[in-house]
Amino acid sequence: MHDEFHGDLLEVSMGPQHPSTHGVFRMVVTLDGEQIVKLKPVFGYLHRNHEKIAESTSYLGSMPYTDRLDYLCSMSTNWAYALAVEKLSGQAVPDRAQYLRIIMAELTRLVNHSCLVGFLFNDLGTSFTPLLYAFREREKILDLFESLSGSRMMCNYQRFGGCRVDPSPEWLAAARTLVEGFPRFLDEYETMLTGNEIMLARTQGVGRLDPAHAVNAGITGPVLRASGVGYDLRKVDGYGFYPRFDFRVPLGEHGDTYDRYMMRILEMRESVKILQQAFRDLPAGPVMDPKAKLRGFRPKAGEAYGRLEGPKGELGFYLISDGSPNPWRYRVRPPSLINLTLLEEMCLGHTIADAVVILGSIDIVLGEVDR
Amino acid sequence: MSEPAHHTPFPSAGNISDAEREDLRRHGILISSLEELYGWGRSNSIWPLQFGLACCAIEMIAAATARFDIARFGAEIFRPSPRQADLMIVSGTVTKKMAPQVVRLWNQMPEPKYCIAMGACAISGGPFKQGYNVLKGIDRFIPVDIYIPGCPPRPEALLHGLTQLQDKIRAERISGPQAARHLQPDAASEFPVPDFGAHDLQPPSNPNLFTAPVLPRKA
Please tell us whether the domain made up of B55-185 is placed in CATH 3.40.50.12280. Answer: yes
pTM value? 0.87
Inter-chain residue contact B59 with A153, CB threshold 8 Å: yes
How far CA A356 is from CA of A9, A44, A329, A346, A351, in Å, comes to 19, 19, 36, 11, 9
Tell me, what's the pLDDT at B206?
Answer: 84
Q: Is the pLDDT of residue A275 over 90?
A: yes
* Predicted pLDDT at A113: 93
Portion of chain A with pLDDT greater than 70, in percent: 98
The pLDDT of residue B199 is above 60: yes
Number of neighbours of residue B44 by Cβ within 10 angstroms: 13
Tell me if B101 and A136 make a contact (CB, 8 A cut-off). no
The reported pLDDT for the residue numbered B2 is 46
CATH assignment, A10-370: 1.10.645.10
**Helices assigned H by DSSP within A169-256:** 169-193, 197-203, 211-217, 222-226, 233-236
The one-letter code for the residue type at B18 is D
Give residue B54's pLDDT band: very low, low, confident or very high (50, 70, 90).
confident
Omega into B152 within 30° of 0, i.e. cis?
yes
Which residues, in sequence order, are CB contacts of A186 under 8 Å at separation 6+?
A265, A268, A269, A272
Average pLDDT over residues B64-87: 89
Taking CB atoms and an 8 Å limit, are A49 and B52 in contact across chains? no
In angstroms, the CA A46 to CA A48 distance is: 6
Contact criterion met (CB < 8 Å) for A49 and B131: yes
Question: Which pLDDT does position B9 carry in this prediction?
Answer: 47
Of A49, A52, A367, the CB nearest to B54: A367
> Left (φ > 0), alpha (ψ -120 to 50) or beta: where does A221 sit?
left
**What H or E segment, with its residue span, contains residue A309?**
strand A302-310
Residue B8: per-residue pLDDT? 47
pLDDT digits (tens, 9 = 90+) for A284-305: 888 888 888 777 888 888 999 9
Smallest Cα distance from A208 to chain B, Å:
29
Residue A5's pLDDT is 67
What phi and psi, each to the nearest 5 degrees, are found at residue A304? -155, 145
Neighbours of B93 (CB within 10 A): 33
pLDDT above 90 for B180: no
The structural domains of chain A, with segments of one domain joined by +, span: 10-370
pLDDT value of position B111? 84
Helix residue spans in B84-215 (DSSP H) = 99-108, 119-124, 155-170
User: Would you call A253 an interface residue with chain B, using a CB distance cutoff of 8 Å?
Assistant: no
A367 in reach of chain B (CB within 8 A): yes
Q: Is the CB of A45 less than 8 angstroms away from the CB of B97?
A: yes
Q: Are B54 and A46 an interchain contact pair (Cβ–Cβ within 8 Å)?
A: yes
Query: Are B67 and A23 inside 8 Å of each other by CB?
Result: no
Give how far Cα A213 sits from Cα of A1, A142, A176, A217, A218, Å.
41, 37, 41, 6, 9
Q: Containing H/E element for A31?
A: strand A26-32
Contacts of B133 in chain A (CB under 8 A): 47-49
Q: What is the ipTM of this complex?
A: 0.86
Residue A48 has its nearest CB partner, among B65, B93, B101, at: B93
| CB A248 within 8 Å of CB A270 | yes
What DSSP state is assigned to residue B175?
A: S
pLDDT at position B16 over 80: no
The per-residue pLDDT for B4 is 46
Of B8 and A189, more confident: A189
**C-alpha distance from residue B25 to each of A176, A366, B22, B31, B32 (Å):** 54, 53, 5, 8, 11
Whole-number Å distance between alpha carbons of B142 and A43: 24
pLDDT digits (tens, 9 = 90+) for A141-160: 999 999 999 888 898 898 88
What mean pLDDT is reported for chain B?
A: 85
Q: Which amino acid is at A328?
A: W
3-state SS, residue B152: coil
- Digit-coded pLDDT (tens) for B122-171: 999 889 988 888 988 898 899 999 999 998 999 999 999 999 999 999 88
Within 22-51 of A, beta carbons closer than 8 Å to B belong to 23-24, 44-50
Predicted confidence at residue B39, as pLDDT, reads: 86
CB contact under 8 A, B131 and A48: yes
How many CB atoms lie under 10 A from the CB of residue A44?
A: 17
Q: What is the pLDDT of residues B82-103, one digit of tens each?
A: 999 999 999 989 998 889 999 9
Decide: B55 and B119 in contact? Cβ < 8 Å.
yes
Q: Residue A7: its pLDDT value, please?
A: 73
Q: What confidence tens digit (pLDDT) does each residue in A13-52 have?
A: 887 888 777 778 888 999 888 889 989 888 888 898 899 9
Beta-sheet strands, E only, within B45-152: 87-91, 114-118, 146-148
Q: Closest Cα partner for A317 from A142, A154, A158?
A: A158
First-to-last C-alpha distance (Å) of chain A:
53
Q: Do B59 and A19 touch (CB under 8 A)?
A: no
The ranges assigned to domains in chain B are: 55-185
Residue B5 has pLDDT above 80, yes or no: no
Mode of pairing for the β-strands spanning A26-32 and A35-42? antiparallel
pLDDT of residue A2: 54
Residue at B91: amino acid letter: S
- Chain B positions touching chain A (beta carbons under 8 Å): 50-55, 57-59, 61-62, 64-67, 80, 82, 92-93, 95, 97-98, 101, 105, 121, 127-128, 130-134, 151-152, 154
Contact list in A for residue B57 (CB cut-off 8 A) is: 23
The DSSP output letter for A227 is T
- A138, closest residue in chain B (CA to CA): B62
Three-state secondary-structure class, residue A241:
coil
Q: Within chain B, how many helices (H) and strands (E) appear?
A: 6, 5
Most B-contacting residue of A20, A46, A58 (CB-CB within 10 A), to test interface: A46
Chain A residue whose CA is closest to B131: A49
Would you place residue B14 in the very low, low, confident or very high pLDDT band (cuts 50, 70, 90)?
low
> Which of B65, B81, B136 best tests the A interface by mutation, with the highest count of A CBs <10 A?
B65
Whether A248 and chain B come into contact, CB under 8 Å, resolves to no
Does residue B40 have a pLDDT over 90? no
| Residue A79: closest CA among A262, A89, A93 | A93
> Are B133 and A47 an interchain contact pair (Cβ–Cβ within 8 Å)?
yes
Q: How far apart are CA B87 and CA A107, in angstroms?
A: 35
Residues B87 and B46 sit within 8 Å (Cβ to Cβ): yes
Predicted local confidence at residue A3, as pLDDT:
56
